[in-house]
Amino acid sequence: MRRPCDRCGKREAVIRIESLNESICDECLSARIWRRVKPVLDKGIQDGDVIVSALSGGKDSSLTLYYLWKYKNEFNKDFEIIAVTIDEGTCYRAESISKAKELTSRLRIKHKIVKMSDIFAFSIPQVQILLSKGKIKRDLCTYCGVFRRQALNIAAREEGATKVATGHNLDDMVQTLFMNLIRGDMSAMARLFSKTPSTRKLIPRIRPLIRVPEKEATVQALLLGIPAHFGKCPLVSGMRVRVRRMLDRFEQENPGFKERAFNFIEKLVKQAIPELTSNFELKYCKQCGEPTTQELCKVCQFKQELEAVMVPTVN
C-alpha cells in the first residue's frame, strides 16, 4: 500500500481530512458519513411517510437518494420514496437528467420529471436571454432557485408527499448562513433551523447531507459508483459564488472552519431566537395561494418583473 488509512491501517486512503490531520480509506469514510446521515434520517422520517427526493442528477441529490434507499432497505423501514426532477430547460440539466434516470432505474424508484415551463410558463433559458439583454437585474440563480423551490413543492404535493428530501450539504448550508448574515436577514437564518410548519401546502424538508462536507460527499458518490453529474451548473453566478470563495479561503487557513461555523451559528440561532426557530409564521400568497412569508410570494413578484419586460405594452 502506497498510502494506508490513518484510522484502520488496513486499506488504501482515498481522501484527506485536513481538519483531522488524517487520510482515510473508503470504509472509514463511509462509516464517518453514515454517522452523520443516519441521525438526520432517524429524526426526519416516520413510518408511512412519502418522501419526495429532489433529484437534479448531480452528485449531492443522487447521494441523498441513495441514502434514502439504503435506509429504507437495510433497516426495513416503512416509507415510500419518489424522485422528482425539476427541468429548468438548460442544456446542463439535459445531461444530469440522463444520470438521474439511470440511478432511479437502478434503484427501482419511481421518477417524475417536471418541466419548469409547464408550471410557470417561463424556462430559465428565457430568463437568461432577458438578463443578457439587460432587461432584468437579478442574478440568474435567484430566479432559478425561487422557481425551482416552488415547482418542487407543487410537484411534491401532487405526489402526496409528507416530506421533501434535498441534497444540501454542509458547504451549501454554511454558504446560505453567511449569505443571510451579509444580508442581515435574521428570519431567513432562523428558518434554516426551524421545523417547517405543517400545512397541506408546504411540505416539510429534510436534508440528509446537512453535516457532510461537499468534498466527502463527492468522493463517496464516486466510490459508490453512483451515476451522477459531477460538474456544477455553468450558469451559476451571484453572491453564493463570492461567499463560497471567501469561505474556502477561511477553510484553507483554518481547516474545519466550515463545520465549526455551522455548529456555532446553529447553537447561537437556536438559543438566541427560539421563538423564531420553534415556529415561524406562514402566510399564503394573495395572488397564487402558495405558502410564503410575505403578502406576495417571490414567484409572483418575479413573474410580474419578467412579464413586464417580456410582454410589449400598448399605450
Partner 1 sequence: MTLRRAGERSLTPDGWIEANGRRIEIYSGMQVSDLMRDMGISPLTHIALVNGRPVPEDYPLKDGDVVEFLMFTVHKEMGGVKR
Chain residues binding partner 1 by CB under 8 A are: 2-3, 12-16, 18, 23-24, 59, 171, 214-215, 218-219, 222-223, 230-233, 236, 241, 244-245, 248-249, 251-252
DSSP the chain: --SB-TTTSSSBEEEEEGGGTEEEEHHHHHHHHHHHHHHHHHHH--TT-EEEEE--SBHHHHHHHHHHHHHHHHTT---EEEEEEEE---HHHHHHHHHHHHHHHHHT-EEEEEEHHHHHS--HHHHHHHHHTTS--S-HHHHHHHHHHHHHHHHHHHTT-SEEE----HHHHHHHHHHHHHHT-HHHHHHHTSPPP--SSS--EE-TTTTS-HHHHHHHHHHHT---B-S--TT--SHHHHHHHHHHHHHHHSTTHHHHHHHHHHHHHHHH-HHHHH----EE-TTT--EESSSS-HHHHHHHHHHHHHSPP--
Q: Which three cell numbers mark 37?
A: 446521515
236 or 296: whose CB is closer to partner 1? 236
Taking the complex as a whole, how short is the minimal distance between the CB of residue 75 and partner 1, in angstroms? 27
Least Cβ distance, residue 176 to partner 1 (angstroms):
15
The smaller minimum CB distance to partner 1, of residues 82 and 233, is found at: 233
Nearest approach, Cβ of residue 236 and partner 1 (Å): 5
Of 248 and 295, the one with the shorter C-beta distance to partner 1 is 248
Q: Compute the least distance from the CB of residue 3 to partner 1, in Å.
A: 5
In the complex with partner 1, the residue whose CB is nearer, 100 or 219, is: 219
Of the two residues 82 and 219, which places its CB atom closer to partner 1 in the complex? 219
With respect to partner 1, which residue has the nearer C-beta, 258 or 303?
258
Q: How far is the CB of 109 from partner 1 (least distance, A)?
A: 24
Q: How far is the CB of 45 from partner 1 (least distance, A)?
A: 27
Q: How far is the CB of 1 from partner 1 (least distance, A)?
A: 11
Tell me which residue has cell 417547517: 196
| Residue 95 or 248 having the CB closest to partner 1 | 248
Query: What's the CA gap between 222 and 52, in Å, rounded?
Result: 23
